[in-house]
Amino acid sequence: MPKVLIVDDDIDLLEGQKLFLEGKGYRVETAASMNEGLAKLKSFMPDIILADLMMEHYDTGFVFCKKVKDNPETKNVPIIMQTAASRETGFAIDIESPDKREWIKVDEIVAKPVQLDMLEGKIKQYLLK
């Protein structure tokens, strides 16, 4: 059973995505903050992480992802960032340029709202790699 960790400060979003993915046969753990997410990772090793960007601070998601990727135990876990703070809404988030990739350690950014079957499709892609 593939394992997913979702980190997002919106408890409804966590609930909806958890139920959906569980219904599709995943094992899902959720965390409502960066610290909760990091704590979960000590006992739960996911195959993929879904992370929000703006949580306690506007860039908490990036800090969280950097911590995950800097940790040798979790550095190979792919991360999909889902955020409503996308470029189309005026945020200069760009993981294409190399200098940004230096500190924005995510594998992909998707814009909220995410259609859940699309999200699952992305998860499958990463699990196949």
The binding site for other proteins (CB under 8 A) comprises 9-13, 15-17, 19-20, 23, 32-33, 36, 54-56, 82, 84-85, 89-91, 112-117
Asked if residues 64 and 34 have their Cβ atoms less than 8 Å apart, the reply is yes
Question: With respect to other proteins, which residue has the nearer C-beta, 16 or 103?
Answer: 16
In the complex, minimum distance from the CB of residue 97 to other proteins, in angstroms, rounded to a whole number: 19
- Between CA 37 and CA 35 the distance in angstroms is 5
| Coil/strand/helix, residue 6 | strand
Beta strands in the chain (DSSP E): 3-7, 27-31, 48-51, 79-83, 108-111
In the complex, minimum distance from the CB of residue 14 to other proteins, in angstroms, rounded to a whole number: 9
Question: With respect to other proteins, which residue has the nearer C-beta, 32 or 95?
Answer: 32
In the complex, minimum distance from the CB of residue 59 to other proteins, in angstroms, rounded to a whole number: 13
